[in-house]
């Protein structure tokens, strides 16, 4: 978990299964663990489709944690791609205040959020094949997701500038060098 500055706030090393139990909803468990200290503080968290799910969004909303992320599973019935033009979107809002959103760019983008109004829209610039720059409509949820999602990437980029050039086959060496970096 990283802050806007790219500073690593928390991490967890995946060590495989926990005892003899087979883990399910691993992504949701990781997000819940990282967000335990954020309850009732109105923080915003962003994550990709590996971590996102409808039950997770409901749980975070109940804890006053604002969340947004991409999603491709268990979506409600939305307009088909052939009925959406580039820049158009369709959405549904559940009884638990979680919005499912589908936006048509070159491909469809699916967003699941508990804090951004799906009716709000902005404008993004897209370059066409002929090099022309066009403005197309874009839901605010997609704009916010694209703006805030790269914090972990920023951390990796900052860490790589000071990386030690050491290679090892031993797993614990890799972890040790990662912490040195």
Segment 32-68, tens digit of pLDDT: 998 998 888 878 899 888 888 999 999 999 999 999 9
Averaged confidence pLDDT in the chain: 85
pLDDT of residue 9: 85
- Asked whether residue 113 carries a pLDDT value surpassing 90, the answer given is yes
Max mean pLDDT among 25-34, 101-110, 154-163 falls in 101-110
pLDDT of residue 18: 67
pLDDT of residue 62: 92
Give 139's pLDDT tier (boundaries 50, 70, 90).
very high
How open is the CA angle 68-70-76, to the nearest 5 degrees?
A: 100
- Asked whether residue 121 carries a pLDDT value surpassing 80, the answer given is yes
Max mean pLDDT among 3-17, 116-130, 155-169 falls in 116-130
pLDDT of residue 177: 77
Give 122's pLDDT tier (boundaries 50, 70, 90).
very high
Among 27-31, 95-99, 162-166, name the one with the lowest average pLDDT. Answer: 162-166
């Amino acid at each position: 978990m990283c802050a806007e500055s790219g500073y690593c706030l928390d991490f967890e090393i995946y060590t495989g299964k926990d005892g003899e139990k087979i883990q399910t909803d691993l992504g949701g468990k990781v997000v819940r663990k990282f967000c335990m200290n954020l309850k009732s503080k109105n923080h915003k968290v962003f994550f990709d489709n590996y971590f996102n799910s409808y039950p997770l969004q409901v749980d975070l909303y109940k804890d006053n944690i604002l969340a947004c992320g991409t999603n491709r599973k268990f979506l409600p019935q939305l307009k088909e791609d052939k009925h959406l033009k580039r820049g158009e979107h369709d959405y549904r809002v559940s009884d638990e205040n979680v919005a499912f959103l589908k936006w048509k760019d070159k491909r469809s983008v699916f967003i699941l959020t508990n804090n951004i109004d799906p009716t709000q829209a902005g404008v993004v610039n897209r370059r066409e094949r002929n090099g022309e720059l066009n403005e197309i409509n874009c839901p605010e949820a997609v704009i916010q997701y694209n703006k805030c999602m790269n914090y972990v990437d920023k951390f990796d980029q900052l860490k790589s500038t000071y990386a030690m050039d050491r290679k090892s086959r031993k797993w614990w060496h890799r972890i040790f060098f990662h912490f040195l970096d």
